[in-house]
Structure 1
């Protein structure tokens, strides 16, 4: 197998492990984040946490986990694989600058939206159920969305706002991660301790959300609606942003901000595969 192909396979496998870690560790935080976005009258993340645990039980924090857990291997392996390919397209001759890293991340984010959009749509609709007798299972939600709205307006609802979110998100994600990692490498050498990888991943996660969070709020609201958005993507995104500000002020665009552990697991898995495959 050619070296570039094997390197891409390693990135795909490592990405799937990183995505699984993100779901298993971060799902409770993601549920709180989503509920903060769609129920802006809450008193904050701790209030959502306590209300959810009290009324629905602790396991309710894992609502919607099936969709990303089933799809996360494809989603994260796609984004990490696309990022590796994008880096080689931009510059096959060594380390990229931070601007080139951001550009490769943006390209990977655009590709990632193809799978991320339906995974996120199902997750958000499951998280938007609050333990009533009428709550639906994932298969029922999927069947109803397909039967009523079809593929484009149902399964892929929110696709264009997902694209708009993923491009700046992954530009920030990879640039932030690489910036932090390079600082650690300059001080500790190329064999970084696990805590340094975790710290770099946290920097990447923070940059991801800071660069895209208002669009994530829009995405959640659009995907939870009973009907598809009307107008062009630019029109409905602008309309939703205005609605959030009108309801909750500018702070409403940043309700429920949280980081994630994807990068640490990706790096550790890739290091193992590099030792195992020699590439």
Structure 2
């Protein structure tokens, strides 16, 4: 391991078997899509708990386990999968764009699709990918959040939407384009630090594990070790961005789309006034717990699909 001036540590390793070998090509879209579907299938139940904890006022749930059990008791086990249709379709597209943009960002900085970036360059590529990714992530998350807390009649009245399409149609008819782009800048504010930490945590863990178990060759890491690396990336994602995610969820479940840019700060002030600092971390534990299998499966699926695609050239 060596260190470059003004950057984070550089680990010498072969090119990443997936993203750096393609430089933002069609393979990143394909692998990212499958990775996104795997992520939703594994992580959606705890994501529902997370969103409900973020949005409900203090006292509704005693904690994440209470929220989990009340959801099952009142709505059945499938209640944990409310709003899944939107991310199942949408997150596949979102992850495709995310991994493509990340791979392309790495290549732009290093000048080569096969060059090994520093961790500083990884963070920059992740941040850029997060900003680009917000274009798709914002409407997908909007529909998911509002479907996950649909029982909350104080916000949504008596209307019950059976899926993302009728909800999207309703929001567009009522608010126009603002109804679909609801909370976009809050999503951007979350996605930039979140994905910078996401990819940096993954790459750091993967390179350390490769040095320990695979003679520095990350292409030889087992699926289990790839999942471990991905899990560390997932924990890094939420550690870097969770308060911003709380703000985003509150904004997207509001009564009407906000205007301008100042709503992020005003929402933060409202949360602080109502619940104090703890309000910015409600639902944090299920998010971190969820990120271990969900991010682990995401990165492992992506890397393994990329290996298969590259080996079949």
Q: TM-score, normalised by structure 2?
A: 0.83
Structure 1 25/123 Cα, relative in aligned 2: closer, same or farther at 3 Å? same
SS at match of 1:202: helix
Alignment of 1:18-167 (within 5 A): 18-41=35-58, 42-93=61-112, 94-130=115-151, 134-138=159-163, 139-151=165-177, 153-167=178-192
C-alpha separation in 1, matches of 2:279 and 2:312: 47
Instruction: Provide, for residues 166-219 of structure 1, a one-character-per-residue CA deviation record: whole Å limited to 9, x for no partner.
Output: 111110000000010000010112201122111110110011111111111111
Instruction: Provide, for residues 117-173 of structure 1, a one-character-per-residue CA deviation record: whole Å limited to 9, x for no partner.
Output: 00000000100112887422223211110001111x100100011111111111000
Give the aligned partner of residue 180 of structure 1. Answer: 205
Contact between 2:22 and 2:103, CA under 8 Å: does it hold in 1? no
Alignment of 1:192-207 (within 5 A): 192-207=221-236
SS at match of 1:64: coil
Structure 1 238/6 Cα, relative in aligned 2: closer, same or farther at 3 Å? closer
CA RMSD of aligned residues (A): 1.8
Q: 2:239 aligned to 189, 200, 210, which one? A: 210
Contact between 2:94 and 2:136, CA under 8 Å: does it hold in 1? yes
Contact between 1:15 and 1:77, CA under 8 Å: does it hold in 2? yes
Contact between 2:87 and 2:141, CA under 8 Å: does it hold in 1? yes
Contact between 1:56 and 1:131, CA under 8 Å: does it hold in 2? no
C-alpha separation in 2, matches of 1:75 and 1:104: 16
Q: 2:312 aligned to 273, 276, 279, which one? A: 276
SS at match of 2:312: helix
C-alpha separation in 1, matches of 2:172 and 2:128: 29
Instruction: Provide, for residues 245-276 of structure 1, a one-character-per-residue CA deviation record: whole Å limited to 9, x for no partner.
Output: 22222122122222133212111211111212
Size of the alignment, in residue pairs? 272
C-alpha separation in 2, matches of 1:87 and 1:210: 23
SS at match of 1:185: helix
Gapped regions of structure 2 (runs ≥ 5): 1-19
Give the aligned partner of residue 13 of structure 1. Answer: 30
C-alpha separation in 1, matches of 2:242 and 2:52: 14
Q: TM-score, normalised by structure 1?
A: 0.93
Instruction: Provide, for residues 53-96 of structure 1, a one-character-per-residue CA deviation record: whole Å limited to 9, x for no partner.
Output: 00011001000011111212210000000011100001124111
Gapped regions of structure 1 (runs ≥ 5): none
What's the CA shift for 1:8? Answer: 1.5
Contact between 1:40 and 1:252, CA under 8 Å: does it hold in 2? no
Residue 246, structure 1, aligned to residue 273, structure 2: yes
